Amino acid sequence: MAEMMYREALNRALFEEMRRDPSVFIMGENIGERGGSYKVTEGLIKEFGPERVIDTPLAEATFTNAAVGAALVGTRPIVEILFVDFTTLPMDALVNQAAKYKFMSGGQGQVPMVLRTQGGAGNGLAAQHSQSLEALFYHIPGLKLVMPSTPYDAYGLLLSAIRDDAPTIFIEHKLLYMTKGEVPEEEYVVPMGEADVKREGEDVTLVTYSYMTLKCLEAAELLEKEGISVEVVDLRTLKPLDEETILESARKTGRVIIVHEACKRGGIGGDIAAMIMENAYDDLDGPVSRVCGLDTPVPYNLELEKVCVPTVEDIAEAVIKIT
Q: Among residues of the chain, what percentage have pLDDT more than 90?
A: 99
244: in domain: yes
What is the bridge-based pairing of β-strands 180-183 and 144-146?
unpaired
Cis peptide, bond prior to residue 240, ω within 30 of zero: yes
What is the bridge-based pairing of β-strands 204-208 and 230-234?
parallel
Question: Same domain, yes or no, for 150 and 234?
Answer: no
pLDDT band at 23, cuts 50/70/90? very high
- Whether the pLDDT of residue 47 is over 90: the answer is yes
**Mean pLDDT, range 36-61, rounded to an integer:** 97
Distance CA 254, CA 315 (A): 17
pLDDT band at 86, cuts 50/70/90? very high
- Whether the pLDDT of residue 1 is over 90: the answer is no
- Scanning 21-95, the segments in alpha helix (DSSP H) are 44-48, 60-72, 91
Residue 52 DSSP label: T
Structural domains counted in the chain: 2
Contact 26, 78 (CB under 8 A): yes
pLDDT value, residue 104: 97
- Condensed to tens digits (0 to 9), the pLDDT of residues 106-116 reads 999 999 999 99
Tell me the one-letter amino acid at 314: D
Phi and psi at residue 112, to the nearest 5° = -80, 75
191: in domain: no
Residue 314 DSSP label: H
Q: Among residues of the chain, what percentage have pLDDT more than 70?
A: 100
Average pLDDT, the chain: 98
Residue 85 DSSP label: G
Neighbouring C-beta atoms of residue 105, cutoff 10 Å: 12
- Whether the pLDDT of residue 32 is over 90: the answer is yes
- Condensed to tens digits (0 to 9), the pLDDT of residues 209-250 reads 999 999 999 999 999 999 999 999 999 999 999 999 999 999
Give the global pTM.
0.97
Domain final residue pick, 137, 160, 183: 183
pLDDT value, residue 246: 98
Residue 71 half-sphere exposure toward CB, CA atoms < 13 A? 33
190: in domain: no
Question: Same domain, yes or no, for 251 and 311?
Answer: yes
Q: Which amino acids are annotated catalytic?
A: 60, 129
**Secondary structure of residue 2 in the 3-state scheme:** strand
- Whether the pLDDT of residue 317 is over 90: the answer is yes
Question: Same domain, yes or no, for 168 and 41?
Answer: yes
The per-type count for the chain, helices as H runs and strands as E runs, is: 12, 14
Structural domain including 64 reads 2-183
Tell me the one-letter amino acid at 305: E
117: in domain: yes
